[in-house]
């Protein structure tokens, strides 16, 4: 690494929005959610979903309650095109659900894309082009005026093609790709150009992506508030954000963006997506839930959701993943275990959730308390007592807790492994009714500990 990183990397420019209002706002209602699992998420997979996996993901998204779903990039491949046709022709799209498809600014691709949607009740055509200086200069060799002409021409084409298919209710989504790295004035000009070419008063979504997350979330929030103010005069416009997670702050960026005026967010379940991923919609939705705001999405069977997503993406969800990982409701540390045990005992059904170290009741997501306390060499006697009482109805005196705790500690130090409540029961019996356990696992554990 460089000793002088500033010679290679520039800090993101601040927006200089002195009268910002977002820091004083709270999120009091759920945004409109758009799942792009089947498009942006799918484009990031080593093995893109086949038709069966796409359908399984689509059905999961419907069950979870998504009302807007980006189902693909139909001009990119036969699989993608056929999937959109299948959804429409087989009548798989509920009346209250709108599908979205993405297309770059290319005439032939736009024609195919609009065709793919024939017969849909309602559809969002999502047009994007990159607007940031590096892309204009290095990737496309286009100046700002040429970039605006590109937008105007392609939005006008979408308008012409969709006007000829009045049986569908059409919505345009325009994304100034690379928005977070672009000059705000250029992004605004791009959005105003798209709005004018689509037609003032016609339904439009302006979707602002951090295609590559390149600043702290407060900078993104300033950018969103700046755009929200500048676009406020358009009544038929919905402001949407599409954060990625390159700096690991996609969730924070989305939340601050909602405070700054965004009304819709795009992302993927468990944050699948290009590089470090898209915004994790499960994370944002359940963060809202733990603040007492109903997200309008149902994660009450989080493990089933996770299994389906892992199957479709052929990627694992990490053990520490917020809300969904195997270990996120588990305490190994003795002091945490003690506090959780007391908190669970004090919690009454229907009361406010105030259990230390657990930001959410695992049972709300279909998890049990079984994994909340697990015993390893970091745990104290409290965790051992909790497991024996919960699983075996054994209430230990302080003296017995202390002596069993000492034995368990020696076993774990010797064997370097976690002890289950069955192991603990066996150790307890070994201490108190040695004959019962003479041939059991506890005897081996005891001799292992003694040998050590
Ligand atoms: O990340 C991005 O910029 C995109 C656009 C197409 C919205 O996925
Ligand atoms: Zn994206």
Q: Name the phi and psi angles at 127, rounded to 5.
A: -105, 140
1, with CB counted inside 10 A (0-12, 13-18, 19+), is exposed
pLDDT band (50, 70, 90) for residue 57: very high
| Residues 328-349 pLDDT 10s | 999 999 999 999 999 999 999 9
Residue 134 CB neighbours (<10 A): 11
Mean pLDDT to the nearest integer, 35-45: 98
pLDDT band (50, 70, 90) for residue 373: very high
- Give the per-residue pLDDT at 429: 95
Compute the CA torsion angle 164, 117, 72, 244 (nearest 10 deg).
40
Residue 432 pLDDT: 86
Atom of ligand 1 nearest to the CA of 130: 3
The token pair that represents 330 in the structure block: 């588990």
Helix (H) or strand (E) holding 172: strand 169-177
3-class SS of residue 409: helix
- pLDDT (mean) for 266-276: 98
Q: With contact defined as beta carbons under 8 Å apart, do 168 and 124 qualify?
A: no
Whole-angstrom Cα distance, residue 153 to residue 161?
12
Tell me the mean pLDDT in the region 177-206. Answer: 97
Enumerate residues with CB within 5 Å of ligand 2 (an ion): 40
Q: Rounded distance, CA 69 to CA 99, Å?
A: 5
Confidence of residue 23 (pLDDT cuts 50, 70, 90): very high
User: By alpha-carbon position, which residue is closest to atom 3 of ligand 1?
Assistant: 211
In this predicted model, what pLDDT tens digit does every residue of 116-126 receive, in sequence order?
A: 999 999 999 99
Residue from 177, 190, 206 whose mutation best tests the ligand 1 pocket (most atoms within 8 A of CB): 177
Instruction: List the structure tokens of 218.
Output: 């407060």
Instruction: Give the burial class of 14: count Cβ atoms within 10 A of its Cβ; 0-12 exposed, 13-18 middle, 19 or more buried.
Output: exposed
Please give the pLDDT value at position 382: 87
Q: Running DSSP on this structure, what letter comes out for residue 211?
A: S
Mutation to probe ligand 1, out of 130, 172, 211 (largest number of atoms < 8 A from CB): 211
Q: Mean per-residue pLDDT for 143-159?
A: 98
Q: Do 39 and 102 contact (CB within 8 A), yes or no?
A: yes
Q: Whose CA is nearest to atom 2 of ligand 1?
A: 211
Q: Name the band, by pLDDT with cuts 50, 70 and 90, for residue 452.
A: very low
- Tokens coding 207: 């979707």
The Å distance, Cα 109 to ligand 2 centre, comes to 19
Give me the chain's average pLDDT, please.
Answer: 95
Which tokens hold the place of 172?
Answer: 């345009």
- The Cα 254–Cα 387 span in angstroms is 39
Q: State the pLDDT confidence band at 435, using cuts at 50, 70 and 90.
A: low
Alpha carbon distance 186, 249 (integer Å)? 25
Whether pLDDT at 99 is above 80: yes
Cβ of residue 266 lying under 6 Å from some atom of ligand 1: no
Which sign, positive or negative, has the C-alpha torsion 16, 18, 23, 25?
Answer: negative
- Residue among 365, 254, 298 nearest 31 (CA): 254
pLDDT of 449 > 80? The answer is no
> Which helix H or strand E contains 239, and what residues bound it?
strand 237-243
Residue range 292-303, pLDDT digits in tens: 999 999 999 999
Both structure tokens of 34: 């758009």
Confidence of residue 450 (pLDDT cuts 50, 70, 90): very low
3-class DSSP state for residue 427? helix
pTM of the model: 0.93
């Amino acid at each position: 690494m460089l000793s002088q990183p500033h010679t290679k990397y520039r800090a993101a420019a601040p927006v200089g929005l002195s009268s910002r209002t977002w820091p004083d706002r709270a999120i009091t209602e759920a945004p409109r959610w758009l799942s792009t699992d089947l498009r942006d998420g799918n484009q990031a997979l080593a093995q893109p979903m086949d038709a069966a996996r796409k359908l399984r993901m689509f059905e999961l998204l419907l069950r979870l309650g998504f009302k807007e779903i980006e189902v693909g990039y139909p001009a990119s491949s036969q699989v993608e095109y056929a999937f959109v046709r299948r959804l429409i022709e087989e009548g798989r799209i509920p009346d209250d659900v709108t599908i979205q498809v993405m297309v770059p600014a290319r005439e032939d691709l736009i024609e195919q894309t609009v065709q793919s949607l024939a017969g849909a009740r309602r559809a969002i055509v999502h047009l994007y082009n990159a607007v940031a200086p590096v892309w204009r200069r290095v990737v496309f060799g286009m100046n700002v005026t040429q970039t605006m002409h590109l937008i105007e021409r392609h939005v006008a084409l979408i308008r012409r093609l969709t006007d000829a298919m009045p049986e569908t209710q059409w919505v345009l989504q325009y994304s100034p790709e690379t928005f977070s790295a672009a000059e705000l004035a250029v992004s605004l000009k791009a959005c105003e150009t798209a709005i004018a070419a689509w037609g003032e008063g016609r339904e439009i979504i302006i979707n602002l992506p951090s295609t590559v997350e390149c600043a702290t979330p407060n900078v993104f929030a300033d950018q969103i508030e700046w755009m929200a103010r500048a676009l406020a005069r358009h009544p038929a416009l919905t402001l949407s954000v599409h954060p990625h997670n390159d700096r690991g702050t996609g969730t924070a960026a989305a939340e601050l963006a909602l405070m700054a005026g965004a009304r819709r967010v795009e992302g993927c379940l468990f944050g699948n997506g290009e590089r470090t991923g898209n915004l994790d919609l499960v994370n944002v939705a359940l963060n809202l839930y733990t603040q007492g705001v109903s997200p309008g999405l149902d994660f009450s069977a989080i493990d089933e959701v996770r299994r389906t997503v892992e199957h479709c993406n052929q990627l694992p969800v990490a053990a520490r993943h917020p809300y969904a990982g195997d270990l996120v409701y588990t305490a190994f540390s003795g002091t945490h275990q003690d506090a959780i045990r007391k908190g669970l005992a004090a919690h009454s059904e229907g009361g406010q959730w105030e259990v230390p170290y657990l930001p959410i009741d695992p049972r709300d997501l279909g998890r049990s308390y079984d994994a909340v306390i697990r015993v390893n060499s970091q745990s104290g006697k409290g965790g051992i007592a909790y497991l024996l009482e919960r699983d075996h109805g054994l209430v230990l005196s302080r003296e017995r807790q202390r002596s069993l705790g000492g034995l368990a500690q020696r076993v774990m130090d010797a064997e370097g492994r976690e002890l289950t409540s069955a192991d603990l029961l066996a150790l307890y019996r070994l201490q108190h009714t040695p004959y019962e356990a003479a041939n059991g696992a506890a005897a081996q554990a005891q001799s292992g500990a003694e040998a050590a």
